[in-house]
């Protein structure tokens, strides 16, 4: 993936397991963390970085800090 690329993810917190699924609707992230104080966002960032095979420091939240639909920018 190229630097500057935007990655949209729909998040489902309080799921039964941590997983990222790709469908025709785009990426969906299911995390077991609760959506409070940015915990679910941090869990999605870690999970997405592992899924992409990049360090999590290269993923920056561009939009959606308090929403289910998040956009990360790859640095």
Long-range contacts of 58-65, Cβ-Cβ distance < 8 Å, separation of 24 or more: 59/7, 62/6, 65/38, 65/41
Residue 42: its H or E element: helix 39-52
Q: Residue 56 is part of which domain span?
A: 6-74
Q: Which of 68, 25, 28 is nearest to 48 (CA)?
A: 28
CATH of the domain at 42: 3.30.1200.10
Is 41 part of any domain?
yes
- pLDDT of residue 3 exceeding 90: no
Is 14 part of any domain?
yes
Q: What is the pLDDT of residues 9-18, one digit of tens each?
A: 999 999 999 9
Is 12 part of any domain?
yes
Is 1 part of any domain?
no
Number of domains in the chain: 1
Instruction: Report yes or no on whether pTM surpasses 0.75.
Output: yes
Q: Which of 3, 11, 1, 2 is nearest to 71 (CA)?
A: 11
């Amino acid at each position: 993936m190229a630097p500057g690329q935007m990655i949209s993810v729909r998040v489902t917190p309080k799921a039964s397991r941590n997983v990222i699924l790709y469908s025709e609707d785009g990426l969906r992230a299911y995390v077991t963390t609760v959506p409070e104080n940015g915990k679910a966002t941090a869990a999605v960032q870690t999970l997405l970085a592992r899924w992409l095979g990049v360090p999590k420091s290269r993923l920056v939240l561009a939009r959606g800090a308090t929403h289910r639909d998040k956009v990360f920018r790859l640095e």
